[in-house]
Amino acid sequence: MSKSIITRIISSIEVGEIGMIRDSKRLEAGDFCTVDISTVLGRKQPVVCSLTHLEGYDFRLLSMRTPLGEVGNVAGLEERYGMYNFAYENNFQTVRLCYDADANDLYGVYMRVDLAVLPDDVNGVNSLSIYELNKSLEALVECADMTERLAFHQQDIDMEAMHIESRQLNRANDTLRKETSTAKLSGKWQLAWNKKYIQLFEMLNKKNNSQQQLWAMNHQKPFIKFLTAQQKTEACLSYLANDIQDVELEVLETYFYTELKLYK
C-alpha cells in the first residue's frame, strides 16, 4: 500500500476521530484506519477503511465499512426490510448492505461504500477527491444509522465493541484533491433520478434471489449492488455524479461488465 495515498485519505476525512490500525492481521488484509463517528442523534457509527488491490485491474479499492452486527442479525434485517428498503434502494445508491456468513465478529452484516483509487496522474494528483470521500462517508453513516434504528432500535454499536487495536492520529496537511470536475457521460452510464449519482444497470438472466443471497453477493463483489427488480436480480453500479472523470467512467464500466460475465 502507498503510504502517501493513505496519508492523503486520512487527512481528508472531515468527521469523526481517526484511529490508525495497529493489528497486524488487519493491516495485512488492507485495513488502515478507523473513524469513530457520532451522528446528529448522538448515536455511534464506527467505520473501518481499507485499501486493497483489485486483481486484474489497474486501480485500487477503497472500502469504508460500518457494522450492523453478527451473522444472526441478518434474519432481523431481512424480516424488517420493508421498513428501510425504499431509502436504501433509492436514496443511498452507492451504499451496499453486505452479508458475510463466515464472519465471527460484528461484521456478519454490514454496510459499505467502495471508491476507486486510480494511479496518480503526471502531476501527482489522484482521481479521488475530498468531496467524493466525505460525501461517500456521509451517505454510509446516514444509511447505516437509519437501517439500524429501524431494524434494531435499541442497538447502537460503538468503536469499543469492535475491539480493534488502534491509536489516535492527527490529520496531516497533505490531502486529496480539493477541486471537483465532471465529465460528460459516455457508454451506458445514466444519471440517477436525484441527479446525485450516475449508474450502470444490468438485469441478470436468473431467478430472483432472497435478500440474504443478494447481500452475500454484495459482500463478494465490490462496487456492484444487487437488488430485486421485475422478479429478477438486477446489478447496479452507482457513483457520485458531481466529481466524475473520464478515466473513472472507463475503468468502472470495464469492471462492471467484466465482473457480470460471471453471473451470465
Q: CB of 88 within 8 A of CB of 95?
A: yes
What value does the mean pLDDT take over residues 212-236? 94
Cell of 228: 430485486
pLDDT value at 213 more than 80: yes
Q: What is the pLDDT of residues 103-127, one digit of tens each?
A: 999 999 999 999 999 988 877 788 8
CA dihedral for 220, 221, 223, 224, sign (positive or negative): negative
| pLDDT given for residue 209 in this prediction | 83
Vertex 108: Cα angle to 79 and 90 (nearest 5): 55
Kindly list the domain boundaries of the chain, sorted by start residue: 3-263
What value does the mean pLDDT take over residues 147-168? 91
DSSP tally for the chain: helices H, then strands E = 8, 11
pLDDT value at 2 more than 60: no
Which CATH number is associated with domain 3-263? Answer: 3.30.1460.10
Q: Which pTM value belongs to this model?
A: 0.93
Average pLDDT value for the chain: 92
Q: What is the pLDDT of residues 29-64, one digit of tens each?
A: 999 999 999 988 889 999 999 999 999 999 999 999
Q: Looking at 95-104, 118-127, 238-247, which range is the least confident one?
A: 118-127
Vertex 180: Cα angle to 193 and 10 (nearest 5): 105
| pLDDT given for residue 3 in this prediction | 59
